[in-house]
Amino acid sequence: MCGIAGMVQRDPSQQADQALLQRMCTSLHHRGPDAQGLFLRGPVGLGSRRLSIIDLATGQQPIFNESGNIAVILNGEIYNFRELRPTLEAKGHRFATRTDTEVIVHLYEEYGVDAVHRLRGMFALALWDGERQRLLLARDRVGKKPLFYADLPDRLLFASEIKAILQDPEVSTAIDLQALDAYLAFQFIPHPLTIYQAVRKLPPAHRLIWEQGDVTIEPYWRLDFSRKTPIRADELGEALRARLAEATQSRLISDVPLGALLSGGVDSSAVVALMAQAMDRPVQTFSVGFAEEAYNELPYARQVAQRFATDHHEMLVTPDVAGLLPRLVWQYDEPFADQSAVPTLYVARMASRHVTVVLNGDGGDEAFAGYDKYRFSRWQRAW
């Protein structure tokens, strides 16, 4: 995970605040401990904290186009960069690195703000077009990577976390009562709201375009429910397996060690199985459990680890876990009621001692309506 931050002044004669940009980046150090990159040019400032995963030597951000008038910073990963690059090279674009980030600037040269349509990955990005004096912010289709912004009278701020935006003393910390109401109802704060009136989330599959002081926020992709699949019902299982295998393979592109979080449930077990088939070495798997048998899933995780001969690591959540709560409050920046955050932080800390990147099964229940609340909602509508 990396962190990005930046600003653009509404008055083009004003210089971006370098001291503020540095404070914003410093607050994101935990997201990207490997390197920092700053770019200041007139009214714009871009900052990056990098966790190096691809092209460790030359992937320092910001990344520029050939003429240097387009700059991009990225939090995340573009999975289809290897497919996009040859087409761009055939059109005459010259690449200076092997990183996935560089594909974005050349795509933008070809397609403008519509370049984000062609990106497949998990990402939050910021791109500055010096010739057009345009800032483009974009977030991936399902919102895996966060991106927040504050539209102030004199400038626009953006960052991977709210705490970076709050480095500007002009950003009000007044509580948004609508957001608080939503939190009490849903146990999270839906986009575009945050707990602060002055800070907003860029929704998934949306782009923000800043040009001549005006801000436009629009969707660049929508899930199409109108299409009917040509696949027969008895072929759906194999089709899904092929899609998952291809998706897993694309996420194994890395110049650093990677592993998987394993709970023993269907989602994470499927990911581990597909990783084991695709990798030429044992998958490193990481699991946490509880002393209370009713909540302990370690036996299931062990069965999966044994079946696929993984290099397995596990630990029990102990009562001193309460000591992690201040860290979680600091990390999330706003109210968040998912208790799984505690064991997730536990297992992430364990995994970080062995690998840099982990895959997991998050999203499976959302995609396939696996939670009881989806069935309850359907029953309520029926009655």
Q: How far apart are CA 49 and CA 60, in angstroms?
A: 9
pLDDT at 54: 63
Q: Does residue 377 lie in a domain region?
A: no
Hey, what are 209's tokens? Answer: 């375009």
pLDDT at 325: 87
If asked whether residues 186 and 72 sit together in one domain, one would say yes
If asked whether residues 197 and 153 sit together in one domain, one would say yes
If asked whether residues 320 and 202 sit together in one domain, one would say no
Residues 6+ apart with CB under 8 A from 345: 324, 327, 328, 331
pLDDT at 382: 65
Catalytic residue among 2, 261, 274, 347: 2
> Is residue 179 within 8 Å of residue 193, measured between CB atoms?
yes
Domain end marker among 185, 219, 253: 219
Q: Does residue 46 lie in a domain region?
A: yes
- Its domain, for residue 36, covers 3-219
pLDDT at 171: 98
Number of domains in the chain: 2
Compute the radius of gyration of the chain from its Cα atoms. Answer: 22
CATH code, domain carrying 161: 3.60.20.10
pLDDT at 253: 85
Hey, what are 84's tokens? Answer: 């996009």
Q: Does residue 143 lie in a domain region?
A: yes
If asked whether residues 165 and 252 sit together in one domain, one would say no
CATH code, domain carrying 358: 3.40.50.620
DSSP code, position 349: H
> Is residue 72 within 8 Å of residue 48, measured between CB atoms?
no
pLDDT at 342: 87
Q: Is 2 a catalytic residue?
A: yes
Q: Does residue 247 lie in a domain region?
A: yes
Q: How far apart are CA 307 and CA 314, in angstroms?
A: 16
If asked whether residues 181 and 115 sit together in one domain, one would say yes
Q: Does residue 363 lie in a domain region?
A: yes
Q: Does residue 325 lie in a domain region?
A: yes
Question: Edge to edge, what strands does the sheet with 44-50 contain?
Answer: 35-41, 44-50, 3-9, 155-159, 148-151, 200-201
If asked whether residues 28 and 162 sit together in one domain, one would say yes
pLDDT at 383: 63
What is the mean pLDDT for each group of 10 consecutive residues in the chain (383 residues)?
Answer: 94 96 96 90 95 68 94 96 95 92 97 97 97 98 97 98 98 98 95 98 98 95 82 86 93 88 93 94 94 87 97 90 87 90 89 93 82 72 66
pLDDT at 57: 63
If asked whether residues 357 and 253 sit together in one domain, one would say yes
pLDDT at 335: 94
